[in-house]
Homo-oligomer: A and B are copies of this chain.
Amino acid sequence: MTRPQAPLSYRDIKQIVLERIQNGTWPPDSFLPNEAELSDQFSSTRTTVNRALRELAEEGYLERRRKAGTRVLAAPVRQARFAIPLVREEVEQAGAAYRYALVARRVIPAPTWLSGRLDLTPNQRVLHLECMHYADNAPFQYEVRWIVADTIPEALKADFTDIGPNEWLVQRVPLTNLELSFTATKADATIAQFLETTAGEPVFLAERTTWLKAAPVTLARMYFAPGYRMTTRI
C-alpha cells in the first residue's frame, strides 16, 4: 500500500542520485536517464531535477553535456574549498587574541625578479612592507608584501601601523583576480627570528598574487609559524 508522497525537493533528489551512484545502480561511466525521464520517475519537474543534477555536476560527481547526456564520473573530481580568511579572523576564530605589528615600510624601485613576476616596467615603484601577526602574543605569521604604487597610489599614503595591508586592501580594492600557492620552505635567519624558531626549520609558505583586472596589485608571502596546518573537510 503506497501513500501519496510529499513532493521531492532538489535536495532529496541529489541524495537519491548519490545513493544510486554509490550502490551501483548507475556505475561509473554510465549515463543517467535524461532529465525528462527522471522528472517522471521522481514525480517532479524538469526544473527541479535540473537543479539537483547541476549541483552534483558542480560538486564533481557528474559530467553533463548537451545531447550526450549526464554521465557518472569514474573518479569523482573531488574538490576542496578553502576559505581565505583575514589573518585576524583566523586567529580570533581559534580563540586567541590577535595583534598586528608593522615591522618595516619603504618605497623602493621594484627589484628585477619582482618586475618579472608581476610584469612591471623596470624600476617601477613599489611599496615594500614587512608585518607580523601574533596570536596570544606568540608569532603566528610573518608577512612580506610588495604593493605596486601605480596600481594603488593611495597605498603610499597609508601608514599600515594599525591595520595590516591585507585588511586595508580588501576594504579598498574591490574585486581582484588572485593566484594562491602553497609550499614548504626553509626559514632564513630573518624569518626564523620573527617566528621565534631556528634558521633552517621548515615553514609553511602561502604566496598570494592579486590583480585588478590586468593590473598587478600585490605579491604577498606569508610565512606561518612552525606547527601551522591548513585543514579542510569535505
Contacts and interface: CB of A to CB of B under 8 A. Distances in A.
A122 interface: no
How many copies of the polypeptide does the oligomer hold? 2
A175 B20 CA distance: 11
Given A18-B175, A22-B174, A201-B186, A180 B76 contact: no
Contacts of A183: 184, 204, 227-230
Among A77, A82, A83: residue with most chain B CB under 10 A = A82
Interface string A163-174: 000010011001
A231 to B, nearest CB: 4
Contacts of A180: 80, 231-234
Contacts of A182: 182, 204, 229-231
B202 A203 contact: yes
A168 B233 CA distance: 22
B75 A83 contact: no
Interface residues of A, number: 48
25 contacts: A22-B174, A61-B175, A75-B170, A77-B84, A77-B85, A78-B83, A78-B178, A80-B82, A177-B234, A178-B233, A178-B234, A179-B233, A179-B234, A180-B233, A181-B230, A181-B231, A182-B230, A182-B231, A183-B204, A183-B227, A184-B226, A185-B202, A201-B202, A202-B202, A202-B203
Interface of A: 18, 21-22, 28, 61, 74-86, 167, 170-171, 174-175, 177-186, 200-205, 226-234
